[in-house]
Amino acid sequence: MNKKRPKHLALHLIKLPLAGFVSILHRVSGLLLFMALPLLLWALQASMRSIETYTTLMEIVQHPLSKLVCLGLLWAFLHHFCAGIRYLAIDLHLASSLARARASSKWVMGVSLLLTILIGVKLC
């Protein structure tokens, strides 16, 4: 047994398929949404407390950096939602073949980015 195996994986050389990126982005978007929950709950509380806190919140939201954060959270929600529907379809054996799984990963990326752009332009 004299096999030449690498001691360390060269992660930068591994080429993931698109479905792998969708899976990783699904996890990242879920983590991002979870980490943003305190911020979103604070914004909800500030918007309903009084007119003064509401106007302060609106001033904060009008800042370009806040708009970028909101756009990122919008993408995270839409990607997580679309990928969740994809995984549900796979679990129900509706997209269990390799060709359908690849096509559905393309659809998830395209639809989530398109919806992010459309809703982001409408809101900002």
Contact 119, 67 (CB under 8 A): no
CATH placement of domain 19-123: 1.20.1300.10
Closest CA to 70 of 18, 122, 8, 2: 122
pLDDT, position 6: 66
CA distance 120 to 122: 5
pTM of the model: 0.84
Tens digits of pLDDT across the chain (124 residues): 567 776 777 777 778 899 999 999 999 999 999 999 999 999 999 999 999 999 999 999 999 999 999 999 999 999 999 999 999 999 999 888 888 989 999 999 999 999 999 999 998 7
pLDDT, position 15: 84
Domain-by-domain residue ranges, the chain?
A: 19-123
pLDDT, position 36: 96
